[in-house]
Structure 1
Amino acid sequence: MRTVGVEEELLLVDPDTGEPKALSAAVLTRAVHDDPGQEVFQAELFGQMLEVATHPHTGMAELGAEIVRSRKEAARLAGEAGGAVAALATCPLPVTGSLTQQERYRWMAGQFGIGTQDQLVCGCHAHVSVASDEEGVAVLDRMRPWLPVLRALSANSPFWQGRDTGYASFRSRLWARCPSAGPTELFGSAGRYHEQVSRMLASGAVLDKGMVYFDARLSAKYPTVEIRVADVCLRAETTVLVAALARALVETAARDWRAGRPAAGHSVSLLRLAAWHAARFGLNGDLLDPATMRPRPAPEVARALLEHTREALADSGDAALAEEALAALLRRGTGAREQLGMLDRTGSLREVVTECVRRTQG
């Protein structure tokens, strides 16, 4: 069975005011003090962010348990440094990022200018194992039209710089400003994929393979496909749903490839429109149907993803989990909808942040 692991980027905030705090260095110092060999917690672009990575798992129960455990440990470490963690894909309050002083991040700030300041955003990346680069690229080609659905399910960023953006996932709109971000054309082979990456590096617009920010890519570190479209999810159970569906998408695409079924030939222009629909509406509007690229109610498209991956979900033992988690998400709403509801109840974006701190830990 394919393994799956996730990386979550969490926001570090003041527990009383909800304002972001540049505490990542202090948190990482404590993490290394407790466990010198730890690889769970890592620095990110800004000091107000903390990356939390799981180990690869074959079972969703084990993955979910590690996500919850890692979030609680991140909260403990942040608390010792005078802060708290919130699974927010953008900060509702006005914020100026405090750049982490690493050479790579300084290069980004110089290269991308003011656009770098807009990247204080938190995503969730799912790594799903593949047998080879050839299989991985075949998967990338066949997953393309379904990735916006994962974005819609995870949408958790309605606010930016103190304002309601009107988007369910404004993080993804900010991220789209990166020159290498977004959907990709059909590659057709691993050779063509690597040739494209080499040409991008030769352009000088990006520094290394880690800055090739495709919606889904071959990992430069692990034998995995890395799916990068999701916001960090407010609730750990939504992260598990995204991971289960990501693995099922990879397995379904690999089976289609082995059976000789071709990838859908949708243009990058249409895929960008599908990504915009997902960012704008989340699950509260229309998404573009991955088969027809025509508008269709978001809950129907979400259920179509379940149907598309049903055989793979059943074979991995995740069918019931995915059905139940999706039904609960459709009833409750995305993290974006929950945040908007908090603002309606409290009238305060600070209260939104402090409530999200509590929900991050379940």
Structure 2
Amino acid sequence: MLTVGVEEEFLLLEPDGAVAPVSGGVLGVTEGDERVKPEYTAYQLETVSGVHTRLDRLHDELAELRWIASNAAERTGALLVAAGAPPFRRGPLEAVTDDPRYRELADRYPSATLAAAGTCGCHVHVGVADRDLAVGVLGRLRPWLAPLLALTANSPYADGADSGYGSIRYEARRQWPTFRAPEVWADAEDYDRAIKALIADGTALDVGGVHLLARLSGRYPTIEIRVADTCLSVTDTVVFAGIVRALVATLIEDVRYARPVDAMSAAEVEDGLAAAARHGLVVRGPQPPGRPPVAIADQLRVLLRKITPALGESGDAVAVHSRLGWLCRHGTGAERQRSLLQSDPRPDAFVNALAEHTAPRPATARALAWAI
């Protein structure tokens, strides 16, 4: 059984939707819990789960972490919100967390910092200790990044308006020079050579500043999938983690049996990701001339067929397919955000609704539990 862990990034917002740069105060409340950490801006937090083999236990810890962070935020007058980007107003560069590394990143890449400030992602770590094997998996992840992004799109709003995207976070983070799909590398030595070259030429500050959509973690013996927006609910996060783990398990077998790597070009991968960021699971509106529409929902169905044996082996098939059925009926995080704002357009009502979905009260949590 492959292990799985999750890092979730969150926004700290005022009740009216303005960003609340109070992470220092929130961390003071949670002092002693090393699972709650600062993030790039002072109006963000990150939570880091432990290592799990069972998704129900991952669910319980992530729900606990959201509840801890939410209660601490409320004690500073802020609300904890799981969204891929601030829906109303972003903070200035001065809101970058007072940390030497973050300051150096902001100084070296000011345009990327301005564009992507406050964007929040969900990073899933899957334990793969063999680095050559893990690099083989990275190259094979490329065709599946678009449906993974579409499934987790949760940032439709920016500057108080509908951006037209399901994931405006993806578009904003493209300003970072290494925010792109992994390449197909021969082995770990080839991968390491490429990472060192990015650092040497100034494209990245350090190993942690290589923002590939999937990479080898610089801290843990894991593959780290970083394509997703922070998910609106804990259950969304856990079903995503289950799909990612099953996909990695499936691709490990492809590597071991030397099955060929899908020969998608960089342009094809980028087109798929762009379509996923804009449309989510359903393609809407006119497509660029001369190019067929990228049917992300069809890609997701192919992905599910591919990973169903692995889901069965881990015991996750029923729960994952059940939750995906729920998503088809109720929409991704982006679609649910739009429904919330349409039902009550007042900013304070919208932000409170997002906070409730992020860390629901116990009665609501039971209704949204993992074992549905």
TM-score, normalised by the number of residues in structure 1: 0.94
1:115 positional shift:
2.8
Q: Secondary structure at the match of 2:259?
A: coil
Match of 1:83 among 74, 78, 87: 78
Q: Secondary structure at the match of 1:109?
A: helix
| Cα displacement string for residues 334-362 of structure 1 (whole angstroms, at most 9, x for unaligned residues) | 11111111222222344322210111113
Q: Secondary structure at the match of 1:51?
A: strand
1:117 positional shift:
2.3
Equivalent residues of 1:185, 1:267 under 8 A apart: no
2: distance between equivalents of 1:212 and 1:115? Answer: 13
* Corresponding residue of 2:107: 110
2: distance between equivalents of 1:161 and 1:18? Answer: 10
Give the letter aligned to residue 84 of structure 1: L
1:83 positional shift:
1.4
* Corresponding residue of 1:13: 13
1:267 positional shift:
1.2
2: distance between equivalents of 1:316 and 1:212? Answer: 31
2: distance between equivalents of 1:39 and 1:250? Answer: 28
Equivalent residues of 2:272, 2:294 under 8 A apart: no
Do residues 146 (structure 1) and 144 (structure 2) align? yes
1:283 positional shift:
1.5
1: distance between equivalents of 2:282 and 2:220? Answer: 35
| Cα displacement string for residues 83-114 of structure 1 (whole angstroms, at most 9, x for unaligned residues) | 12010111111222411011111111111123
Q: Where do residues 304-319 of structure 1 align in structure 2 (5 Å cutoff)?
A: 304-319=302-317
Q: Secondary structure at the match of 1:96?
A: coil
Equivalent residues of 1:201, 1:208 under 8 A apart: yes
| Cα displacement string for residues 51-85 of structure 1 (whole angstroms, at most 9, x for unaligned residues) | 01111100000001111111001111111222120
Please, which runs of 5 or more residues in structure 1 have no aligned partner? Answer: 287-292
1: distance between equivalents of 2:202 and 2:112? Answer: 17
* Corresponding residue of 2:34: 39
Q: Where do residues 148-163 of structure 1 align in structure 2 (5 Å cutoff)?
A: 148-163=146-161
Give the letter aligned to residue 271 of structure 2: L
2: distance between equivalents of 1:259 and 1:153? Answer: 29
Equivalent residues of 1:141, 1:188 under 8 A apart: no
2: distance between equivalents of 1:255 and 1:25? Answer: 45
Q: Where do residues 174-323 of structure 1 align in structure 2 (5 Å cutoff)?
A: 174-285=172-283, 295=293, 297-323=295-321
1:132 positional shift:
1.0
* Corresponding residue of 1:4: 4
2: distance between equivalents of 1:211 and 1:298? Answer: 29
* Corresponding residue of 1:26: 25
Give the letter aligned to residue 60 of structure 1: L
Q: Structure 1 residues 269 and 297 mapped into 2: Cα distance closer, same or farther (>3 Å)?
A: closer
Equivalent residues of 2:123, 2:225 under 8 A apart: yes
* Corresponding residue of 2:367: none
Larger CA deviation: 115-124 vs 212-221: 115-124
Larger CA deviation: 233-242 vs 184-193: 184-193
2: distance between equivalents of 1:294 and 1:58? Answer: 40
1:178 positional shift:
0.1
Do residues 73 (structure 1) and 72 (structure 2) align? no
1:317 positional shift:
0.7
Give the letter aligned to residue 300 of structure 1: D
Q: Structure 1 residues 314 and 206 mapped into 2: Cα distance closer, same or farther (>3 Å)?
A: same
Q: Secondary structure at the match of 1:207?
A: coil
Equivalent residues of 1:155, 1:336 under 8 A apart: yes
Q: CA RMSD in A?
A: 1.4
Q: Secondary structure at the match of 2:218?
A: coil
1: distance between equivalents of 2:260 and 2:86? Answer: 41
Give the letter aligned to residue 79 of structure 1: E
1:294 positional shift:
6.0
Q: Secondary structure at the match of 1:309?
A: helix
1: distance between equivalents of 2:212 and 2:144? Answer: 14
2: distance between equivalents of 1:130 and 1:234? Answer: 28
* Corresponding residue of 1:289: none
Equivalent residues of 1:54, 1:63 under 8 A apart: yes
Calculate percent identity across the aligned residue pairs.
Answer: 36
* Corresponding residue of 1:290: none
Q: Structure 1 residues 57 and 133 mapped into 2: Cα distance closer, same or farther (>3 Å)?
A: same
Equivalent residues of 1:127, 1:227 under 8 A apart: yes
Give the letter aligned to residue 60 of structure 2: A
| Cα displacement string for residues 244-284 of structure 1 (whole angstroms, at most 9, x for unaligned residues) | 01101110110011111021111111111111010000022
Give the letter aligned to residue 200 of structure 2: A
| Cα displacement string for residues 13-51 of structure 1 (whole angstroms, at most 9, x for unaligned residues) | 12x32322011111112211xx2xx32111111000000
2: distance between equivalents of 1:227 and 1:55? Answer: 16
Larger CA deviation: 315-324 vs 221-230: 315-324
Equivalent residues of 2:136, 2:184 under 8 A apart: no
Give the letter aligned to residue 99 of structure 1: V
2: distance between equivalents of 1:316 and 1:21? Answer: 41
2: distance between equivalents of 1:61 and 1:317? Answer: 11
Equivalent residues of 2:138, 2:183 under 8 A apart: no
2: distance between equivalents of 1:23 and 1:50? Answer: 10
